[in-house]
């Protein structure tokens, strides 16, 4: 953690501590959380979104300005520390109704927020996975031998997709580990991962994430029974995650490990789509 970053955000005394999870680049320093911005414009935009969004049923960490008055300094952003802890999603977690409620509350508040045109030029593995899942990128170049056994799962899911008639809006696409629960307070939603997709997609992503990596049981999908087009959203969420892993691990043994963990979830989604 560069000292000039601490100084410009007004952090005095004490050693910053690296926080677990994510990409390992986030630090806590007293009442603030500091993390690198992907870019100057991305950091400023995300800060503006979280500075303005509000509503009942959720909390968000507010951004902190640097001494310059900017949201980004030396390539870093700062955010208020918020209390809470992520849920244990194993089995059939009792947190599911709360998660669904906070996702709906947050996305109702985000529904009118515009997405800047420059975001269409962003290129990273999450964008690539999202574009493949929604038919906006040719998956062929990604599904060669380097993709290993993940390629077959992606092809099977893509073959089962059909158009969905749901409006797009700004969404937080990575809620599973980024909703913090605290007694006596609304859940806090941290570490915004923006996409422009239907408001139900984040819940589908939580479902595939927790089924694949958090030992959730298939019965949790009953919580999402009333969500419009949920099976199509689950399929797109799974493609999104699998393609992201292909981009990150193509040509390495990592694709095999992910394929083994994801295979039961892919089969479950395909069986639901085949009904």
CATH of the domain at 38: 3.30.200
* 151 lies in the same domain as 200: yes
**Can you spell out the DSSP letters for 105-122?**
HHHHHHTT----GGGGG-
- Tell me the per-residue pLDDT of 126-172, one tens digit each, with 9 for 90 and over: 999 999 999 999 999 999 999 999 999 999 999 999 999 999 999 99
Longest dimension (CA), the chain: 60
265, 238 Cβ separation under 8 angstroms: yes
- 258 exposed, middle or buried (CB, 10 Å; 0-12, 13-18, 19+)? buried
Q: Is residue 85 part of a domain?
A: no
Instruction: List the domain range (segments joined by +) for residue 110.
Output: 96-274
Question: Does residue 86 sit within a domain?
Answer: no
Q: pLDDT grade, residue 14 (50/70/90)?
A: confident
Local confidence band at 37 (pLDDT 50, 70, 90 cut-offs): very high
Q: Which of 207, 206, 208, 181 is nearest to 193 (CA)?
A: 206
Q: Are 38 and 115 in a shared domain?
A: no
Asked whether residue 109 is domain-assigned, the answer is yes
243 inside domain = yes
Mean pLDDT of the chain: 96
* Domains: count for the chain: 2
| pLDDT for the residue 124 | 95
- Say yes or no: 181 and 246 in one domain: yes
Whether 22 has a pLDDT exceeding 90, the answer reads: no
Flag whether 89 is in a domain. Answer: no
Instruction: Please check whether residue 129 is in contact with residue 244, taking contact to mean a CB–CB distance below 8 angstroms.
Output: yes
Give the dihedral of Cα atoms 177, 195, 123, 34; nearest 10 deg: -50
Place of tokens 């998956």: 139
Residues 112 and 243 in one domain: yes
Domain boundary among 30, 54, 80: 80
Q: Do residue 108 and residue 229 come from a single domain?
A: yes
The pairing of beta strand 185-189 with beta strand 32-36:
unpaired
Residue 2: pLDDT band (50, 70, 90) is: confident
Residue whose pair of structure tokens reads 């986030």 in the numeric block: 26
Q: Is the pLDDT confidence value at 21 over 80?
A: no
Q: Which long-range contacts (CB under 8 A, 24 or more apart) does 117-123 make?
A: 118/41, 119/194, 119/196, 122/42
Asked whether residue 26 falls in the same domain as residue 100, the answer is no
Residues 61 and 130 in one domain: no
Torsion of CA 97, 31, 126, 96, to 10 degrees: -10
Residue at a domain's end among 22, 53, 80: 80
User: Strand 27-29 and strand 32-36: pairing?
Assistant: antiparallel
Residue 68, number of CB atoms within 10 A of its CB: 9
Could you tell me if 20 and 102 lie in one domain? no
Mean pLDDT, rounded, for 198-205: 98
User: From CA 257, how far away is CA 28, in angstroms rounded?
Assistant: 32
Last residue of a domain, one of 34, 50, 80: 80
Give residue 1's pLDDT band: very low, low, confident or very high (50, 70, 90): confident
Co-location of 191 and 55 in the same domain: no
Q: Are residues 67 and 114 in the same domain?
A: no
CA dihedral 137, 251, 254, 175 (to 10 degrees): -20
Same domain, 196 and 73: no
Model pLDDT for residues 203-236, shown as the tens digit of each residue? 999 999 999 999 999 999 999 999 999 999 999 9
Q: Which of 26-30, 44-48, 227-231, 240-244 has the lowest mean pLDDT?
A: 26-30
Check if the beta carbon of residue 118 is closer than 8 Å to that of residue 41. yes
Average pLDDT over residues 85-90: 97
Q: What CATH number is given to the structural domain containing 137?
A: 3.90.1200
| Residue 161 · residue 265 · CB < 8 Å | no
């Amino acid at each position: 953690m560069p000292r000039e970053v601490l100084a410009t955000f007004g952090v005095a005394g004490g050693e910053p501590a690296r926080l677990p999870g994510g990409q390992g680049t986030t630090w806590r320093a007293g009442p603030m959380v500091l993390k690198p911005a992907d870019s100057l414009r991305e950091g400023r935009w995300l800060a503006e979104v979280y500075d303005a969004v509000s509503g009942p049923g959720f909390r968000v960490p507010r951004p902190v300005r640097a001494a310059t008055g900017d949201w980004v300094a030396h390539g870093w952003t700062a955010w208020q520390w918020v209390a809470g802890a992520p849920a244990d999603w194993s089995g059939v977690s009792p947190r599911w109704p709360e998660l669904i409620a906070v996702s709906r509350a947050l996305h109702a508040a985000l529904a009118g927020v515009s997405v800047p045109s420059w975001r269409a030029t962003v290129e990273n593995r999450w964008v690539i996975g999202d574009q493949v899942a929604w038919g906006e990128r040719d998956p062929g170049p990604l599904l060669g031998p380097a993709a290993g056994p993940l390629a077959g799962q992606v092809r099977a899911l893509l073959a089962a997709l059909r158009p969905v008639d749901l409006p797009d809006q700004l969404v937080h696409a990575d809620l599973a580990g980024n909703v913090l629960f605290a007694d006596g307070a609304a859940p806090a939603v941290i570490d915004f991962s923006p996409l422009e997709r239907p408001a139900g997609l984040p819940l589908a992503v939580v479902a595939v994430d927790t089924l694949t990596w958090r030992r959730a049981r298939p019965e949790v999908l009953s919580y999402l029974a009333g969500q419009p087009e949920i099976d199509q959203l689950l399929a797109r969420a799974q493609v999104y995650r699998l393609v992201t892993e292909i981009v990150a691990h193509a040509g390495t043994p990592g694709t095999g490990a992910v394929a083994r963990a994801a295979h039961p979830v892919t089969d479950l989604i395909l069986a639901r789509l085949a009904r």
